[in-house]
Amino acid sequence: MTAHWSNLPSHFELYQLTIATIRVCKRIAGSISYTAQIPLIREGAQVYQESQTFARKQAAQAWVRKREAELDQPVAIERAHRVGATVKEMIERYMLEMEKARALGKTKLATLKVLA
């Protein structure tokens, strides 16, 4: 039987809890993969979840140890939820800033527009 956060006594206050699991999955080709999943639970609610698939169990275990250590840092969840720029936004910003310095060539401008 595995421990679960909801089975803990009510007087036991939790700030942060991670219970990583590694599932074995058989692929169509017959090979085996290992999917490591790390849910992060704060004050009884899951606030973050991350998973990764590996070809070797040892790699999955090493990833779990590394990620759990990283998630123990104070700002880890905020950093994980940070929203980045899209490729389109980066290309448009590049075109705007480069146009200020000097005009882009026709080919380069056309290629960037296709990518964006």
| Token representation of residue 80 | 């994980």
Question: Taking the complete model, does pTM exceed 0.85, yes or no?
Answer: no
pLDDT digits (tens, 9 = 90+) for 33-75: 999 999 888 778 888 888 999 999 999 999 999 988 888 887 7
What's at 86, amino acid-wise?
T
CA angle (43 as vertex; 41, 49 as ends), nearest 5: 15
Contact (Cβ atoms closer than 8 angstroms) between residue 13 and residue 44: no
Give the span between the Cα atoms of 93 and 36, in whole angstroms.
37
35 φ, ψ (degrees, to nearest 5): -105, 115
